[in-house]
Structure 1
Amino acid sequence: MAITKKQKAAIAAIIIAGALGCGAVLLTGGTKGSSEEDHGHAEHSEAKGHDDAEHHGKAAGEGHPDDKDHADEEHHETAKKGPHGGNLYTRGGDTIELAMSEEGGEARLRVWATKAGKPVAGGLSLSGDLKRATGESEPLQFKPVKDFFQSDASIDEPHVFDATVTAVLPGEKAPLVAKLSKEEGKIELTAEQVTKAAIGVQVAGPAKVQSGLQFPGEIRFNEDRTAHVVPRLAGVVEAVPANIGQQVKKGHVLAIIASTGLSEQRSELLAAQRRLDLALTTHDREKKLWEEKISAEQDFLQARTALQEAQIAVQNAQQKLVAIGASAASKGLNQFELRAPFDGIIVEKHLALGEAVKEDANIFTISDLSTVWAEFVVSAKDLGHVRVGEKVTISSTSFDSKAEGTVSYVGSLLGEQTRTAKARVTLVNPGMAWRPGLFVTVNVLGEDVQVPVSVSSDAVQEINGQNAVFIAVPGGFVVQPIKIGRTNGKLVEVLEGLKPGVRYAAANSFILKSELGKASAEHAH
């Protein structure tokens, strides 16, 4: 039978539609109703990548983000929220839940496993690792506890990590993988915010750092420039123009004291001066009479002797006044002006208006704080490293300033009880920042030593009683506790907690510490 043109067109349309349908099946790898067994079909577009016998629990037609990593025969699932608040992974009737739990001040990972809805108590193989923001990896081992499995080792802060746990349930060959990410304490900052805050980022690495020993110390008055002012005569206080904490110059009047003893000494000086005047007049007259041969030489000699004795008496009376710091009478004979012996600050004051004071009473203490002492004790085993002239750096946890100096004194005797010797550093104290009573750390420097990991000294902050730095991570910074060693005031050796190549906040890290404090106030463990 002849086929018309219309019939030919219809047949061609059917053939083209069929070809397009086959192409669509080949491109999509199957229909939405394809079962898991269809993964091994020759027409599956992912068949070439699935020669690892891996089980993928995803709906057909969905994109699989882990396809390129599937050569480990693992089962990967999208995590859901589990009954214990962790990440829940399911395959058929098998489930594992991974979570972090904090108890008794320690954080550990916990795994709950079920098979057909019943908890798995034995026959479960668990292993994993925890990757820190610094790039360090820690192996994870688990042991059964009650109805769950718990990591043997606690997880140290900061709790910023990616944990991966592989579980093989009883009767199964393909492992089930659970993942957990934590970013507790992360300070989120954009690149623009980091630039605006002038937070400088550097890379931890090897450097030459001076070896040294650190000693706890205390700032004290420079006793060579500290005076306990006493009146040196008894009396009653008539005025006290000086106040505690006042900066005074040498000769500044501290107090005015009325003293009968001073009145007597000034009276003695006045009497001696009158006798000197009389002796001088008599001497001049007798000398003239002797030269004119009117009187005998003996009279002239007696007048000269009397003059010399009067001069001695005046000098003696003047020296008595000088010895107590008094001058000749300007107003009242009994008024004594107590003056500052040198420039300094009044740090103690022990008298009041109308008070009677003794000649040896310690009524003022004045110290010149332009220089102070940093005192520390040195054990017998460290005396060989602490010598006069050794360079030191002084630092305090109370503020960020540091000072440099040299050891000015090392005691030659050991204390009978402590078996230690005292040592001190004389510090120049501009602005009087180093105040007596301040606790400091004295770092006695030695030779340069090559260290594998070092950071800027400005980067180290004290957080919760530990030294720490802020390491740069995507989207911000996290605090990383470290153990420090030698320092030269500019660089600090890192003994534990940091690897070479890690980026950290070197400048203005105190801003991050402030932000961390705000976050800690809102975070409850």
Structure 2
Amino acid sequence: MRKNKQLLIVGIILAVILLGILFLNQNKLRLSDNEQLMLSVTDTSEQEGITGPHGGELFLKDGLGLELVFHESGATSLFKLYPYWQKKLLAPADVSVTIALSRLGRSAQLFHFRAEDDYLISDQEVAEPHAFELVIVAEYQDKTYRWHHSEAEGRVEMSDTTLRNSGIELATAGSAVIHSEITLPGEITFNEHDIVHVVPRLPGMVVSIERHHGQKVEKGEVLAIMESTMLADLRSQYLLARRRQALAQTIYDREEQLWREKITARQDFLTAQQQREEASIAVQLAAERLRALGVQPESALSGKKLARYEIRSPIAGIVIKEGVVRGEVVKEDKTAYIVADISTVWAAIRVFPRNLNQIHVDQLAVVRANTHDLKREGKVIYVTTPLDEQTRTAVARIQLDNQDEQWRPGMFVKADFQIDAVEVPVAVLLEGVQTLEDQPVVFGRYGDFFETRPLKLGRSDDQMVEVVEGLLAGEQYATNNSFIIKSELGKAGAAHEH
């Protein structure tokens, strides 16, 4: 009986112990997540370099803790602060915090905070890059706490000697005139004012082809040879008129001599004079008929075939069409050849409706044929009034000098038109702009350091680009070989991580 009573007491004690253990475990599970995490933080009067419960930098001093977090929402970055007292979260309204932020080459920036949920949020954005010195000042229960913190994201140290050896050049941001441009597509065409349709001007049969399509010809060079009965008749008339003129001159000379010797009457002399003048007029008329066909009258005296007719090029250029063949009988108005002078060409540029008011006659443009590495300046000589029915575009013709014959009709080109010239307060050279994380940047020079400066860019031309935000007038930045600094940043693992 006594033994059973002892066993009962032991059982009661064991049950109490088990209940106690369960009670302690339940109370532990009721602790907040932040309290659980704070149990792992070493108790110290002042510490830095500790990661807090929310993944930020934790600053501790005399029981007060501030956890600094970069809160990013899209392109916006703010400071977020979680306050603690004796390892427990404080109500954010109970503590007042101010942060003074300073950057290389910039004046200090003050951040104030407002309470929101269980944290404090800054009153302004934190600009990229996150390279700066921070002085954090907190006030709690009539006591002031201070911490110092630095971030060196996007910063590379490089001495002047290294700078020279790397070939990196510096420039200073400042005001500049930006020449705004638009680029439009087009192609090279012949200068229509320098295209000649060559016609025989008399009927006949082609007996010889001297020049062919694509060949260069000089002014007056023979293109083809014909035989024409009409030309034979005209040359015969010219020869006959010359002989009559010679006979009339002989009669005139004789009658003049006889009249002076008073052998013949004056009337005979006057008749001979009239016949001489009529013969001379007949020769001139026959000669003009030949010249009108491009035939020199003297050719009838050469002894060659009277029916031979040479089709000659009226200009120097290239044959772009050959319209006759040997043995063909052609009429006087048939286009035998088309010859184009290519010492000047046109760039026919397509002008879209939205750009019509920006393009005008006498406007300068730079025409580029990138596949052929060609570039030349020209002037707009004409803009078509009607729009193309299919493309709904107008055509601007730009005349280009082509003495070197590098521009060939049919080439696809682009034309850069200057449409505006605006002075901007801050601009940088395009060669100094790099891209980091899909954002344009330059590398500012501050003492022995280069630091990334993300930019918001505005208008640009082929040399300069306007800086809307990110760099101040008077600041130095890297231009030539700035990609070396970008490479050094990559080696240093200076990518943006928060």
- Identify the TM-score tier after normalising by the shorter chain: 0.5 to 0.7
Of 130, 140, 144, the residue aligned with 1:159 is 130
Instruction: Evaluate the alpha carbon distance shift between residue 308 and residue 231 of structure 1 in structure 2; reply closer, same or farther with a 3 A threshold.
Output: closer
Of 113, 132, 136, the residue aligned with 2:107 is 136
**1:383-422 equivalence runs, <5 A:** none
Alignment-derived partner of residue 433 in structure 2: 461
Instruction: Evaluate the alpha carbon distance shift between residue 475 and residue 93 of structure 1 in structure 2; reply closer, same or farther with a 3 A threshold.
Output: same
Question: Any gaps of 5 or more consecutive residues in structure 1?
Answer: 1-56, 60-74, 243-248, 253-261, 345-365, 383-387, 412-422
Instruction: Evaluate the alpha carbon distance shift between residue 332 and residue 324 of structure 1 in structure 2; reply closer, same or farther with a 3 A threshold.
Output: farther
2:451 aligned partner, one-letter code: V
SS in 1 for 2:126: coil
Q: Does 1:479 align with 2:452?
A: yes
CA contact (8 A) 1:454 1:491 kept: no
C-alpha distance in 1, partners of 2:488/2:415? 27
SS in 2 for 1:174: strand
Alignment-derived partner of residue 437 in structure 1: 414
C-alpha distance in 2, partners of 1:287/1:308? 10
Q: Does 1:278 align with 2:236?
A: yes
C-alpha distance in 2, partners of 1:77/1:494? 41
> What TM-score does the superposition give when structure 1 sets the normalisation length?
0.50
Mark the structure with the bigger radius of gyration. 2
RMSD over aligned Cα atoms: 6.4
1:324-372 C-alpha deviation (Å, 9 max, x unpaired): 879999984769443331325xxxxxxxxxxxxxxxxxxxxx3389xx9
CA contact (8 A) 2:96 2:139 kept: yes
CA contact (8 A) 1:160 1:181 kept: yes
Of 494, 504, 509, the residue aligned with 2:477 is 504
1:465-502 C-alpha deviation (Å, 9 max, x unpaired): 98754211466422324678999999999776445664
Alignment-derived partner of residue 8 in structure 1: none
1:35-60 C-alpha deviation (Å, 9 max, x unpaired): xxxxxxxxxxxxxxxxxxxxxx999x
Alignment-derived partner of residue 342 in structure 1: 342
Instruction: Evaluate the alpha carbon distance shift between residue 127 and residue 340 of structure 1 in structure 2; reply closer, same or farther with a 3 A threshold.
Output: same
Instruction: Evaluate the alpha carbon distance shift between residue 333 and residue 177 of structure 1 in structure 2; reply closer, same or farther with a 3 A threshold.
Output: farther
**1:71-470 equivalence runs, <5 A:** 77-122=47-92, 123-169=94-140, 171=141, 173-177=143-147, 179-183=149-153, 185-187=154-156, 189=158, 191-201=160-170, 214-218=179-183, 226-227=191-192, 232=197, 241=214, 270-291=228-249, 293=251, 307-318=283-294, 332=326, 336-344=336-344, 366-367=345-346, 437-439=414-416, 444=421, 457=429, 461=433, 469-470=442-443
CA contact (8 A) 1:393 1:489 kept: no
Question: Any gaps of 5 or more consecutive residues in structure 2?
Answer: 1-41, 200-210, 255-270, 296-309, 329-334, 384-395
Instruction: Evaluate the alpha carbon distance shift between residue 429 and residue 324 of structure 1 in structure 2; reply closer, same or farther with a 3 A threshold.
Output: closer
CA contact (8 A) 2:347 2:398 kept: no
Instruction: Evaluate the alpha carbon distance shift between residue 291 and residue 318 of structure 1 in structure 2; reply closer, same or farther with a 3 A threshold.
Output: closer
SS in 1 for 2:163: helix
1:167 aligned partner, one-letter code: A
Instruction: Evaluate the alpha carbon distance shift between residue 131 and residue 93 of structure 1 in structure 2; reply closer, same or farther with a 3 A threshold.
Output: same
Deviation at 1:426, TM superposition (A): 10
C-alpha distance in 2, partners of 1:164/1:113? 16
Deviation at 1:429, TM superposition (A): 11
CA contact (8 A) 1:321 1:328 kept: no
CA contact (8 A) 1:445 1:488 kept: no
C-alpha distance in 1, partners of 2:452/2:188? 43
C-alpha distance in 1, partners of 2:399/2:131? 45
SS in 2 for 1:157: coil
> What's the % identity of the aligned pairs?
18
CA contact (8 A) 1:93 1:116 kept: yes
C-alpha distance in 2, partners of 1:427/1:137? 56
Deviation at 1:313, TM superposition (A): 3.1
C-alpha distance in 2, partners of 1:440/1:232? 34
C-alpha distance in 1, partners of 2:131/2:49? 19
C-alpha distance in 2, partners of 1:195/1:430? 44
Paired residues in the alignment total 376
> What TM-score does the superposition give when structure 2 sets the normalisation length?
0.52
CA contact (8 A) 1:251 1:340 kept: no
Instruction: Evaluate the alpha carbon distance shift between residue 313 and residue 424 of structure 1 in structure 2; reply closer, same or farther with a 3 A threshold.
Output: closer
